[in-house]
Structure 1
Amino acid sequence: MSRTRVSFVSAGIEIAAHLYTPGAPASVPWPALVVGHPGTGVKEQTSGTYARLMAERGFVTLAFDAAHQGESGGLPRGLEDPAQRVEDFKAAVSHLTTREEVDPGRIGLLGICASGSYSLAATAGDPRVRAVATVSTAEPARQFRFGADGAQDPAVFQALLAAAARARSTAARGEDPGVMTMFPETAEQAGALGGQHGIDGFEYYCTPRGEHERSAKFLAWESIDRMASSDAFHAIPLIGDRPLLQIIGERAVTAWMAVEAHQRATGPKELHWIEGAGHVDLYDKKRYVGPAVDKLTEYFTEHLSK
């Protein structure tokens, strides 16, 4: 297996990516996967882990940094723009179709966390995608509006919208609007704000377990009002008869979003539960990632066959 730095353009923004290729030479082009990272993540974290493991299983894989994040271009930094995130997936597919080692008729999408929802929207609008799979599906607009567990007081999001509006006015005056910090200073504080899900996120992004210098841990304030009118699940019925697999930890508080996406799908679909796993456990813990990769290999081998 080898890894190469590549780049491509998405809506005028240069996207930085890693292309993973299987070690053994192929007599014919390989099937390929675009692998998207969680919100505030980068390609060197969980998406890179899955891209590497799937390359070892015989797929060309492309893990990229979303526009405005990581090594990719785009201002302001830390912007979570749902429409751009979907466009990034489509642009990644376009890049794969130009590569001689890839069979353009055998391309799938693999989205993790936030990229799970964006990969569904991208598949819905791009018939070049043969199959789509997600791990720990989360839809950022829903998570901000309703909370990770779906039970958040509506006043919380209204307060965020008010803060985002103030930030826009501040920027209009030529002043620094600041950013929305995603994590507190300690795991205890993260638990007080978000329970075990908050602690899990802190332990991945803010400790040596998973942290990376280019994982911003913040959002540009205008991300909030862009998400207010976004619904990445709206177009799921357009996936039609192409297959959909969602892998979810049985303890994930975010599982309700994957269930909703599953209900909206009209074609072949499967919810695959990983025993004992929470949402973030599927990012990097071998005892959970291993079974997930086994299932993904089985799924994409079947649906990206000739």
Structure 2
Amino acid sequence: MNTKSVTFLSNNIPIAANLYLPQGKPAGALVVGHPGTGVKEQAAGLYAQLLAEKGFITLAFDAAYQGESGGLPRGLEDPAQRIEDIKSAVTYLQTIYDNNIGVLGICASGGYGVAAAATDHRIKAIATVSAADIGRQFRNGGDGKQSMAVIQGMLDMAAADRSAKEPGSFPLFPTEEQAKAMGLHVYEGWKYYCTDQGQHPRSAKAFQWRSVELIAGFDAFRFADMIAPRPLLMITGSNAVTTWMTAAAITTAQSPKEHYIIEGATHVELYYKQPYVNRAVEKLQTFFNDKL
């Protein structure tokens, strides 16, 4: 396997990516999207490397406004741009592999990938791992139990930020003590992004307040039924509190579709932890070999 650093444009924003090239004839080509606060060197890079070892050309990239990619202001999370990034990544892969191309989205990129596939027929198969619709995440919380007062309060702050002399940002992670008090899901996310377990110096630690307005009205799975007859695979852990979002997507989508559950895994453990990641990769290999 060979790895190359490459750049492509998305709405004229330079997007930094790592291209993984397998030995021998490729089994297919895959765009791999990272979680909402991640970068290409974390979970997306791990899956891209492992799938390249299975024979796929893979492309893991940093979202616009984040990581090594361009775009101002820094730390903006724009769902429309994130979807465009995926589509632009497909365009880039077409320049080196003129054949069927699939998309793998992890966490928030799972939601963005579903939305991209709904309207881009060049995407021949879509898979997700620990999928999250960032709109539902902000409105309802990771477990779906958050009071609507939380997002309303954030929209108040976003409105105030619009009137400020200079735009500001909000932190994405609580303190360690706060994370522990907020339950296993939040604490696992804190450990992955804020300790040596998975942290990276370029991963996002704060978002622009404008992001809240862009996210609050977003619905990643609104048009999931438009993916068919192209296939959809969604992988979750049996212990993931976010599975309700995948269930919502599967309910909306039409066949062929599959919800594959990995016993024992949580949402975040599917980012990095063995043997869960290998089980996911084995399922993804079979899926993309069959569908591309």
Question: Shorter-chain TM-score: which interval?
Answer: over 0.9
Q: How does 1:216-227 map to 2 (within 5 A)?
A: 216-227=204-215
Cα deviation per residue 1:46-74 (whole Å; 9 max; x = unaligned)? 00000000000000000000001100011
Secondary structure of the structure 1 residue equivalent to 2:137: helix
Cα deviation per residue 1:99-144 (whole Å; 9 max; x = unaligned)? 1xx2x33100000000000000111111011100000000111000
Equivalent in the alignment of 1:238: 226
Aligned partner of 2:246 among 240, 244, 258: 258
TM-score (norm 1): 0.94
Question: Does 1:183 pair with 2:177?
Answer: no
Equivalent in the alignment of 2:287: 299
Partners of 1:85 and 1:38 lie apart in 2 by: 11
Aligned partner of 2:87 among 90, 97, 109: 90
Q: How does 1:13-162 map to 2 (within 5 A)?
A: 13-22=13-22, 24-26=23-25, 30-99=27-96, 102=97, 104-162=98-156
Runs of 4+ in 1 over 2 A off after TM superposition: none
Cα deviation per residue 1:265-300 (whole Å; 9 max; x = unaligned)? 112000000111100000000111010000000110
Letter matched to residue 161 of structure 1: L
Letter matched to residue 226 of structure 2: L
**Structure 2: gaps of 5 or more residues:** none
TM-score (norm 2): 0.98
Equivalent in the alignment of 2:216: 228
Give the alignment's Cα RMSD to 1 decimal: 1.0
Partners of 2:83 and 2:112 lie apart in 1 by: 5
Count, aligned residues: 292
Percent identity of paired positions between Structure 1 and Structure 2: 56
- CA contact 1:105–1:130 (8 Å) conserved in 2: no
Aligned partner of 1:247 among 209, 214, 235: 235
- CA contact 2:237–2:265 (8 Å) conserved in 1: yes
Partners of 2:152 and 2:281 lie apart in 1 by: 39
Partners of 1:230 and 1:121 lie apart in 2 by: 10
- CA contact 2:27–2:289 (8 Å) conserved in 1: no
Shift of 1:30: 4.7
Partners of 1:109 and 1:196 lie apart in 2 by: 29
Aligned partner of 2:269 among 240, 263, 281: 281
Partners of 2:264 and 2:255 lie apart in 1 by: 28
- CA contact 2:8–2:14 (8 Å) conserved in 1: yes
**Structure 1: gaps of 5 or more residues:** none
Partners of 2:115 and 2:249 lie apart in 1 by: 10
